[in-house]
Structure 1
Amino acid sequence: MIGRIDQKRTSCCTLGRPTDSFEISPYYPLNSSLEDADIVALDLVAIPGGHTHVGTSKSVISGDGETPKRKVKLKSYKIGATTVTNNQFAAFVRATGYVTEAERIGNAGVFRGLLRDKHIEAPSNPAFPWWAIINEASWRAPEGPKSALDGRGDHPVVQISQKDAMAYCKWAGGRLPSEAEWEYAARGALPDPRFPWGDDEPSDNKVFCNIWQGRFPDQNTELDGYYGTAPVRSFEPNGYGLYNMVGNVWEWTSEQFRVRSLSRGAKVRNAQAAKENQIIIKGGSFLCHVSYCYRYRIVARHPLEFSSAMSNVGFRIAL
């Protein structure tokens, strides 16, 4: 049976894009700080194949389908040491002229705490009032038209839909990882840790990743040094040399969201996910907190509508 989602552990993300339109956003020249000379080549880490598992036998957020724990066999593969950066995505756009879905549609989701004008009138989902749909927000201007990428070339690119992420991966000769590949890589050769570094919970005295510290959503003490995204090589890597597998930004996978259960509730949930094209995202983000969105655990997962672009969602390449 699917248990009821604990409202104290609900999500910092919305499930999809509620206000799609087909307005075309104005073109923004690439910021002068993102030059070809600054583009960093993809750093791919080889992950050995073998028998492993995905999921858990003890669910924390039951409605997310974290259970059951099941065995899988993976072939050897490679995965990015970091999420794709603004610099790297800029190289792709320059080479191809690609226009992201947020640019095509004309808006994207922005966490209100990142807006210069905290009281701006913008559409939001009543269930997630800390999110605003901001016109002209895109990967080039993550918080809207008055924002820029100055000083953020090595930060994860955000405001990217799954389609955008797949387009980049195809251009770079790769693909998005499956959920099993993502979890296996995140463990860093540890048998079954809660986090990429082990089982120690992040705290004010133990800062392992970029998550929310304080009281969500109105107070962030920034003890980890960041309010929004952090550079992709911040904090210590895991045993495989992978950075920020949890926290910082959510990461798209290649898989449609589904709950592995034969219950009536699971069938209804899976039908909804299929109808809305919800994709599994992994890793949590800078907005996650143990008291609210405890999804910066390796087995945690969340659905996101495939065309959604948000200021805390990016991606990592695999091949």
Structure 2
Amino acid sequence: MKNKTFWIFALLTLSIISIAYSYTRFTNKEEKAEKTVAECHEIPSNAESEFKPTVENKFKPAEKAPKGMVWIPGGEFSMGTNVEDESLCSIKGVTKDAAPIHRVYVDGYYMDETEVTNEEFEKFVKATGYVTVAEQKPTKEEFPTANEEDLVTGSVVFTPTPSAVNLNNFLQWWRYEPGADWRHPEGPQSTIIGKEKYPVVHVVYEDAAAYAKWAGKRLPTEAEWEFAARGGKTGNLYAWGNDLKPKGKFQANIYQGHFPIKDGDTGEDGFKGIAPTKQYAPNAYGLYDIAGNVWEWVNDWYSVDYYKSLAESGKVTKNPQGPSAYYDPSDPSEIKRVHRGGSFLCTDQYCTRYMVGTRGKGEIRSAANHVGFRCVKSK
């Protein structure tokens, strides 16, 4: 397999990794950008005064929630963040796509208490014969300059570096892996046997939407996802509060140690890499892993200035469905939808988007081993 073609595939698939990494244009001329991971530790802050109280709906269904789901009451809340820096020694402006804070109302709904697991996704595949995008051979239409022998199935896998590196170039710690897919998360020699309760990964947007339709559910809107993640609380930095480690304990599966070097993750939170679901306390609505572990697809198109347009209306936006079109000036050719929640690779040194009001983004047909999803169901 020619390395050149590998990078053709990788550059397309790695658009999914652009979640927080377009920050390089802020750092190219900054002395701080030359710092390695060991030197960069910053704690973000949040001005709660900009948030107005969350007002939950009072209605609660008489019947029990569907198996594996919890009731989210909906209501009016302040959405977004006023944290305009994250990681890499607090370079300003990285999270501006999640500002300004604006008022939103959502109706009540049911939500999966965990990310969709391998065993749940396997039931779907067995029932329908569904083949994920990562399992489909790329076509000449997608890659017209690629040689036929180089068109192989696969996906992108995190690969630690041998030593500390400049964080400007994320291509240093990702690789396109032939044969990587939801059944083989690290490549063809890996397996999900014994990992039935782990979140399914290597799923693209259409894979997640297909599962949701089969299950009689749907993907959440971005507003529904954030309302649920906040758990009825107002203006918290994290889904559990404003302290990353209350009583000295991590509340989510994120990355500790020196990112992204081999054996750099200390596993202080209990896990090095992806974790099974339900390993940490749920939020106030009973949702597990709403921060960290794997990114979650939501239904909204990604637009960098969508929040700005909602805030400028001066009104409470009811049940927003996202912008009518995608817009990412840093990568205008790629079709993207929103990710939420962060992953096991998020770290205070590079990507702190486990903060509840922040956003991610992903090219709709790109997969990686840190992206999954959960579903909702309307009442």
TM bracket, shorter-chain basis: 0.7 to 0.9
Q: Which one of 98, 116, 120 corresponds to residue 84 of structure 1? A: 116
Give the 3-state SS of the residue equivalent to 1:304 in structure 2: strand
- TM-score, normalized by length of structure 1? 0.79
Write the letter of the residue equivalent to 2:73: P
Write the letter of the residue equivalent to 2:260: P
Coordinate RMSD, CA, aligned: 2.7
Structure 1 equivalent of residue 254 of structure 2: 211
Q: Is the 8 A contact 2:326 2:337 kept in 1?
A: no
What are the Cα deviations for residues 156-215 of structure 1, in whole angstroms up to 9, with x where unaligned? Answer: 000000110000000001111111111110011111211111011238932111000101
Poorly superposed stretches of 4+, deviation over 6 Å:
none
Q: Is the 8 A contact 1:202 1:209 kept in 2?
A: no
Q: Which one of 128, 131, 149 corresponds to residue 192 of structure 2? A: 149
Q: Which one of 67, 73, 90 corresponds to residue 48 of structure 1? A: 73
Q: Which one of 233, 239, 259 corresponds to residue 278 of structure 2? A: 233
Q: Distance in 2 between matches of 1:222 and 1:88?
A: 27
Q: Which one of 269, 289, 292 corresponds to residue 247 of structure 1? A: 292
Give the 3-state SS of the residue equivalent to 1:220 in structure 2: coil
Change (3 A) 1:151 1:275: same
| Structure 1, gaps ≥5 residues long | 10-40, 120-124
Change (3 A) 1:258 1:50: same
Structure 2 equivalent of residue 314 of structure 1: 372
Give the 3-state SS of the residue equivalent to 1:214 in structure 2: coil
What are the Cα deviations for residues 216-252 of structure 1, in whole angstroms up to 9, with x where unaligned? Answer: 0011111122112111111000000000100100000
Write the letter of the residue equivalent to 2:111: I
Q: Is the 8 A contact 2:72 2:228 kept in 1?
A: yes
How far 1:51 moved relative to its partner?
A: 1.0
How far 1:52 moved relative to its partner?
A: 1.3
Q: Distance in 2 between matches of 1:193 and 1:212?
A: 21
Q: Is the 8 A contact 1:258 1:273 kept in 2?
A: no
Q: Which one of 152, 157, 162 corresponds to residue 110 of structure 1? A: 157
- TM-score, normalized by length of structure 2? 0.67
Q: Which one of 352, 356, 361 corresponds to residue 298 of structure 1? A: 356
How far 1:271 moved relative to its partner?
A: 5.2
Q: Distance in 1 between matches of 2:326 and 2:373?
A: 28
Give the 3-state SS of the residue equivalent to 1:134 in structure 2: strand
Which one has the largest radius of gyration?
A: 2
How far 1:128 moved relative to its partner?
A: 2.3
Correspondence list, 1:116-195, <5 A: 127-195=170-238
Q: Is the 8 A contact 1:169 1:175 kept in 2?
A: yes
Q: Is the 8 A contact 2:112 2:375 kept in 1?
A: yes
Write the letter of the residue equivalent to 1:155: Y
Give the 3-state SS of the residue equivalent to 1:128 in structure 2: helix
Give the 3-state SS of the residue equivalent to 2:210 in structure 1: helix
Q: Distance in 1 between matches of 2:107 and 2:258?
A: 42
How far 1:150 moved relative to its partner?
A: 1.8
What are the Cα deviations for residues 257-308 of structure 1, in whole angstroms up to 9, with x where unaligned? Answer: 112248xxxx996356664111110111000101211111011111110111
Higher helix share: 2
